[in-house]
A and B are shown apart, each in its own frame.
Chain A
Amino acid sequence: MMTKRRSTHGITFVEVMLAFLILGAIFLPIFYFLTGAVRDTERFYTETVAISRAKFIMDSMMFQIPWWAIREGNPCEFNAYNTVLKKTVDAAKNLFQRAVPKMFGDGCLTGNPDKYLGDGIFVCKKGFKYRARVKVVDLDYDSTSANPVMFSIPMPGPGSGRHEFQINQLVSKRDDKFNLIKKIIVQVKWSNQKNKDPDSDPYARSLFLVGFKSDLEG
C-alpha cells in the first residue's frame, strides 16, 4: 500500500513557536525600553528647563539688577528704594515689575510695588512645576570681621610689602553695613511628575548656581 509522503517544504510548527518565543523575548524589553525612553526624555526636558531658568535668574542678578537693590536673605528681596538717595528709583521699579515675575513666577509679589521676593513657583508648557529661590548673603565687614575679604596691592620695589585695606576703610556704610560683595545662590527645584509641587515630592531634583556680585556702581 502506498503511503502519502508529507511535504517537507515550508516551516515547521516548532520553528513558528520558537520564532514567537524569540519575538516575545525581544519585544518585552523593547516596550519597557520605549516607556523608559519617554520618561527619560521628559526628565531631560525638565532638567533643560531648570538649567535655562537658573541661567536667566543668575544673568539678571549678576548683570541687570543693580547691586544696591538686592537685599540679603533666603529668599532675597529686590527693593527699588535706594537708601543712599533716599528715594524709590523708578528705573529699578520698572525693571522689577517686568523681570522678577518672569524670573520666579508666582509667589514673588509682596503687595508693595517697590519690593519683590527672590522666590516663586512656575509651571512649564508640559505641566511640570518648578520652584526657584535665591539666597543672598552680604559679605560685609562686620559679619565676616574674623576673616573679611581684604583688598591689597603690592607696593613698588622688592620687599616693600603690600598696601592692605579693610572694607570699612574703603566704603561708607549703606544699610548699616560696610559691604562691597554679595554672595548669590540660585536654586531651581522641580518634580519629574506633572503638576506636582516639588516641595511635596521626596524625589524632587535640584540644581544650583553660585556667583559673587561686586559693587561696581558706588
Chain B
Amino acid sequence: MNDRNGVAIVVVLFFAFSIAVILFFMAHSNTNLAYQNKQTLYQMQAYYLAQSGMQHAKLQLRLLPKETYEFFAGSGSGNPYADIDSSNYPPTAMGVFSKDSASYDLFKSGMAPDNKFPYGGRYLVDRFELLGSHDRMKMVQDGYKIVVKAEVDGGRGKTFAEELSEDIIVSRYTGGIK
C-alpha cells in the first residue's frame, strides 16, 4: 500500500481551514468597526446632551444668582436645580427612540417637525453644591459645583451615558460667570 494516498486532500483541507480562520477574523474585525462607529456616534450625542444640560444650568445660574445663593444661605439642602431635566419640558423632551426618529430627515419636507427629534435622550442636573462664597472685595462671588448627567436611547434597549462636572464662579448680583 502506498502511504501517500490522499495527502493532497489533507493538504487542501488544511489550507481551507487556515483560510476560513483568516476570513472569520477579517469579518469579525469589520463587524467591530461598524459597531465602534455606532458607539462613537451615540456617545458623542450623549456628550452634546451633557454639554446642553451644563449650559442650561449655567444659564439659570446667570439669571438667578441671588436666588440660588439664598437657597443655600437659608440652609437649603439638596439640589436646587433638580428641576433642570430636559424631560420636564416638552420643547426639550426628546423622549425615547421611536420609528419617527428613524425616518427623521432635514432634507425632506415634513420629515423634521419642530417638536420631533432624531434621537431619544435626556439631560439633567444631578448635583449642585455651593463650594464657597467670597464677599470681602467689591465683587461678591459664589463658587458652585455642577454635575450634569445625560443619556441617549440607542434603541433595542441600549443606552449611552455621559457625565460632566464643572466648578463655576458667579457674581451674586450681576450673574457674570467665570
Contact A181 B70 (CB under 8 A): no
B73 CB–A CB distance under 8 Å? yes
Instruction: Taking A8-B2, A206-B105, A211-B49 as given, write out 11 further A-B residue pairs in contact, using a Cβ cutoff of 8 Å, ordered by the A residue number.
Output: A9-B2, A18-B12, A55-B44, A58-B48, A135-B112, A147-B91, A150-B83, A154-B76, A170-B63, A211-B51, A214-B56
Write 23 A-B pairs (CB below 8 A) sorted by A numbering. A19-B8, A22-B12, A22-B13, A26-B19, A40-B33, A40-B34, A47-B37, A149-B89, A151-B59, A153-B60, A153-B81, A154-B76, A155-B74, A181-B56, A181-B91, A189-B105, A208-B45, A209-B44, A210-B94, A210-B117, A214-B52, A216-B58, A216-B177
A180 near B59 with CB under 8 A, answer yes
Which residue of the partner chain A has the closest CB to B72?
A: A156
A169-196 contacts to B, CB under 8 A, are 170-171, 180-181, 183, 185, 187, 189
Binds A, one of B23-31, B133-141, B156-164: B23-31
CA distance A18 to B106 in the complex (A): 57
| A216 touching B62, Cβ below 8 Å | yes
Nearest 7 A/B pairs, CB to CB: A156-B74, A212-B52, A214-B59, A208-B118, A214-B55, A8-B2, A147-B90
List of B residues within 8 angstroms of A189 by Cβ: 105, 107
Kindly list chain A residues whose C-beta atoms are within 8 Å of the C-beta of B49: 210-211
Listed residue (B34, B80, B83, B114) with the most chain A CB atoms within 10 angstroms of its CB: B114
Nearest chain B CB to A93 CB, angstrom units: 24
B26: chain A residues within 8 A (beta carbon):
33, 37
**Contact in complex: A16, B68 (CB < 8 Å):** no
Any A CB within 8 A of the CB of B86? yes
Asked if B16 is at the interface of the complex by the 8 Å CB criterion, the answer is yes
With an 8 A cutoff between CB atoms, is B173 at the interface? no
Q: Which size class do B's interface residues fall under?
A: 35 or more
Chain A interface residue count, Cβ-Cβ cutoff 8 angstroms: 70
- Report A-chain residues with C-beta under 8 Å of the C-beta of B62: 216
Q: Which residues of B contact A (CB under 8 A)?
A: 1-2, 4-9, 11-13, 15-16, 19, 23, 26-27, 30, 33-34, 37, 40-41, 44-45, 48-49, 51-52, 55-56, 58-60, 62-64, 67-68, 70-71, 73-76, 80-81, 83, 86, 89-92, 94, 104-107, 112, 114, 117-119, 121, 177
Cβ-defined contact, A156 with B64, below 8 A: no
Q: Is A82 an interface residue (CB 8 A)?
A: no
Contact of A187 among B48, B68, B106 (CB under 8 A): B106
Given A153-B64, A216-B55, CB of A185 within 8 Å of CB of B71:
no
Interface string of A36-76 (1 = CB under 8 A from B): 01001100100110010011001000100000000000110
- Residue A11 at the B interface, CB < 8 A? yes
Q: Is the CB–CB distance between B76 and A156 below 8 Å?
A: yes
Chain A hits for B121, CB < 8 A: 210
**Structural contact, B56 and A23, CB atoms closer than 8 A:** no
Q: How far is the CA of A151 from the CA of B64 in the complex (A)?
A: 9
From 126 to 160 in chain A, residues with beta carbon under 8 angstroms from any chain B beta carbon are: 131, 133-135, 137, 139, 144, 146-157
**What per-residue 1/0 map shows which CB atoms of A200-218 lie under 8 Å from chain B?**
0000001111111111100
Chain B residues with CB under 8 Å of A212's CB are 52, 55-56, 86, 92
A151 to B58, CA, bound (A): 12
Give which listed residue, A74, A209, A213, contacts B55 with CB less than 8 A.
A213
What A residues does B23 contact at CB under 8 A?
Answer: 29-30, 33
**CA distance in complex: A40, B13 (Å):** 28
